[in-house]
Amino acid sequence: MAALLSVRGVGAGYRGVPVLRDVSFDVAPGSVVAVLGPNGAGKTTLLRTLSGLLPLTAGTVRFDGQDLATVPVARRVRLGLAHVPEGRGVVEELTVAENLRLGGLWRRDRADVARAITQVYELFEPLARRRGQPAHQLSGGERQMLALGRALVARPRLLMLDEPSLGLAPKVVAQLMAVLSALRSSTGLAILLVEQNVRSALSIADTAVVMALGEVVAVRPADQVRADDTLRRAWWGSW
């Protein structure tokens, strides 16, 4: 099966300072890929490059066969590529409902957007309860739900999440991972998950991309990484 997302030799940086170097990996449709690595490995930079917020200095990114080099950021979600950024990016001054609506504004099929929003409310009950409230009143876990729900309204094919478990209690993290896994099973959504929380990420991932210092050091099936002690200790000590 052809890869949904194909990353080849990607380099990127900030104002002349290179951060990523020669990054290559694939995301197959319907699979979950976890991007792991210590702080400063370039994981966030990678996602920002994939969604176009940061320009490529080298390599190509193909989504569903299409080269993304000429596709501006705002157009990528139309192709099916959604990015939930670091910090969640919930627009605090807008209400929960407005945030969700925002996720679907680009779509022409208003009926399906309405359906999607209803599904999000069903999936995340706290959001339904707070739909008229401004987003700054939400807790960390609720904001994560909102950010996720907002991305889902666009009916993406690949969902990129940057450290969704950040600042959340373990129970909430477990629920989050369960939701992601369920989404993958029920809708065939592919997920690219950047995580510091290695254990949670590996619990739902099919493949692990391990990064350090801006480079990919390994691409392995997740259960291999789970099981292999030497691999783990080499890069993180222990977890």
Partner 1 sequence: MDDPRVRMNPAARGAVAGLALLAAGVAASYALPDRLFALGQVVAWLVAAAGLTVLVGLSGQLSLGQAGFMATGAYAAALTQNALYAAGFTVAPPAGTSGRFAAAAGPTAAGWTLPVALLAGVAAAAAVGALLGLAAVRMRGAYLAGATLVFGLIVTPVTVLVDALGGEQGLRVHVPRAPDPVGSAVGEGRFRVWVALVGAALVLAILTAVVRGRWGRDLRAARDDEAAAALVGIPVARVRLGAFVASAATAGLGGGLYVYLTGTALPGYFGLTTSLFLLVAVVIGGAGRLVGAVGGTLFVVAVPIVTTEVMSAVDASPALQARLAGNAPLALLGLCLVLVTLATPGGWSARLGRGPRRVRIGWGRADQGRSGRLDLGRPRAGRRGDRGRGGTGARPPIPDVRE
Partner 2 sequence: MARFIFLTIDGLATGAVYATFALSLVLIWRAARIVNFAQGAISVAAADVAWSVGSRVGGWWLGLLLAPLVGALLGVLMQRFTVRRLGPERHLDAIIVAIGVAMVVQAVLGMVFGLQYRPLPAPVSQTVLTVGGVPTLSPYKLLVLGAVALLVVGLALLFSRTAVGLRLRASALAPEVSRLLGVEVERMTTLAWGLATGVGAFAAMLVLPTGPGLHPTAMDGVFITAFTAAVLGGLDSPVGAVVGGFAVGLVLNYVTGYTDEPNLAPVALLGLLLAVLLVRPNGIFAGPTIRRA
Q: How far is the CB of 151 from partner 2 (least distance, A)?
A: 8
CB of 115 to partner 1, least distance (A): 32
77 binds, among partner 1, partner 2, none (CB under 5 to 8 A by kind): partner 2
Min dist. Cβ of residue 83 to partner 1 (A): 13
Residue 101's binding partner among partner 2, partner 1, none (Cβ under 5 to 8 angstroms by kind) is partner 2
Residue type for position 161: L
Among partner 1, partner 2, none, what does residue 115 contact (CB within 5–8 Å per kind)? none
Q: What is d(CA 169, CA 26) in angstroms, rounded to the nearest whole number?
A: 31
Q: Which of partner 1, partner 2, none does residue 94 bind (CB under 5 to 8 Å by kind)?
A: partner 2
Least distance (Å) from partner 2 to the CB of residue 67? 19
**44 touching partner 1, by CB under 8 A:** yes
CA dist 150 and 180 (Å) reads: 14
Bridge partners, 12 (sequence order): 20, 56
Q: How far is the CB of 15 from partner 1 (least distance, A)?
A: 6
Residues that bind partner 2 (CB under 8 A): 51, 53, 73-75, 77-78, 82-83, 85, 87, 89, 91-94, 98, 101-103, 105-106, 134, 136, 150, 154
Q: Does residue 39 interact with partner 1 by CB under 8 A?
A: no
Residue identified by tokens 């989504």 is 63
Residues 12-31 that bind partner 1 (CB under 8 A): 15-16
73-92 binders of partner 1 (CB under 8 A): 85-87
Distance of closest approach, residue 177 Cβ to partner 2, in angstroms: 22
Residues 6+ apart with CB under 8 A from 165: 173, 176, 195, 196, 197, 200
Positions that interact with partner 1 (CB under 8 A):
15-16, 44, 85-87
